């Protein structure tokens, strides 16, 4: 068996101020960044529903993600997760509990996003491996958990819970996002250049203004502007507002 080389990081969660979007959040925020899709030595896909367009346009290449040091840090965390999921989740659980204690002490809400550039069910894993019931235990009452996902079933699973999920539109899941909107779920769509006011009868709001809009809105589309490699997308993942009704 091939030996995976990695160092256990001091912290798995990064402060939201390191990200241009989460830095705009009204709440103190923390985010976990891994290397998306199969960018790991085992070639295990940690974004199991990622399409070709999704992988090509991933925010892994945007913002600070363009720096090799940042990419290497995210890959290192991913290797740690894949090699020892249990210990990884125990460390993540400990960091979450620490943040929860701060939130109670300061009597303020703090936001946590576990999937900055991955699509895993950490709510489930932290319960299984870390013994944390994040959605019902009162010690986490001041924590706001949210994520983006390409997995429609996960949106349905956590609908109307304290875990706020937004379904990402890809070039191959148009019907799925429309169904999610109809049941009150939120959807994220990456647009080329300008963000329209409506998309196929549903209201579009500017999702670039805050990462927490998914928490404070229901049944809306979070419009995102193409960033990084997404600007060069030809797969259909990025929607051109001028072609919506064509």
pLDDT at 67: 53
pLDDT at 210: 87
Q: Which two tokens stand for residue 106?
A: 């300061």
pLDDT at 72: 92
In angstroms, the CA 22 to CA 66 distance is: 17
Answer yes or no: are the C-beta atoms of 26 and 210 closer than 8 Å. Answer: yes
Q: By C-alpha distance, which of 46, 49, 122 is closest to 78?
A: 46
pLDDT at 178: 95
Q: Which residue has the tokens 């912290």?
A: 11
Question: Angle CA(223)–CA(231)–CA(25) in degrees, nearest 5?
Answer: 40
pLDDT at 1: 43
Tens digits of pLDDT across the chain (246 residues): 455 789 999 999 999 876 666 667 789 999 999 999 899 999 999 999 888 877 776 755 444 445 578 889 999 999 999 999 999 999 999 999 999 999 999 999 999 999 999 999 999 999 999 999 999 999 999 999 999 999 999 999 999 999 999 999 999 999 999 999 999 999 999 999 889 999 999 999 999 988 899 899 999 999 999 887 888 888 899 998 877 765
Distance linking the first and last C-alpha atoms of the chain: 52
In angstroms, the CA 241 to CA 191 distance is: 7
In angstroms, the CA 113 to CA 13 distance is: 9
pLDDT at 63: 44
In angstroms, the CA 5 to CA 41 distance is: 9
DSSP, collapsed to helix, strand or coil, labels residue 201 as coil
Q: By C-alpha distance, which of 14, 10, 7, 71 is closest to 39?
A: 71
């Amino acid at each position: 068996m091939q030996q995976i080389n990695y160092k256990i990081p001091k912290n798995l969660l990064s402060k939201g101020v390191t990200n241009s979007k989460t830095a705009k959040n009204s709440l103190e925020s923390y985010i976990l960044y891994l290397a998306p899709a199969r960018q790991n030595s085992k070639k295990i896909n940690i974004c199991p529903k990622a399409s070709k367009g999704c992988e090509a346009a991933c925010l892994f290449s945007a913002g600070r993600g363009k720096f090799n040091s940042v990419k290497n840090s995210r890959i290192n965390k991913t290797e740690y997760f894949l090699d020892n999921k249990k210990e990884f989740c125990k460390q993540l659980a400990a960091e979450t509990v620490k943040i929860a204690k701060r939130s109670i002490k300061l009597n303020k809400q703090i936001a946590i996003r576990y999937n900055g550039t991955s699509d895993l069910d950490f709510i489930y894993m932290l319960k299984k491996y870390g013994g944390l019931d994040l959605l019902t235990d009162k010690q986490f009452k001041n924590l706001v958990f949210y994520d983006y996902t390409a997995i429609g079933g996960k949106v349905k699973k956590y609908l109307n819970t304290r875990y706020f999920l937004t379904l990402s539109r890809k070039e191959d899941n148009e019907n799925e996002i429309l169904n999610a909107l109809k049941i009150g779920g939120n959807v994220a769509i990456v647009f080329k250049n300008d963000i329209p006011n409506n998309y196929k009868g549903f209201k579009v709001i500017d999702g670039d203004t805050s990462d927490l809009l998914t928490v404070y809105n229901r049944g809306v589309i979070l419009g995102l502007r193409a960033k990084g490699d997404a600007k060069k997308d030809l797969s259909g993942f990025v929607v051109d507002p001028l072609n919506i009704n064509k």
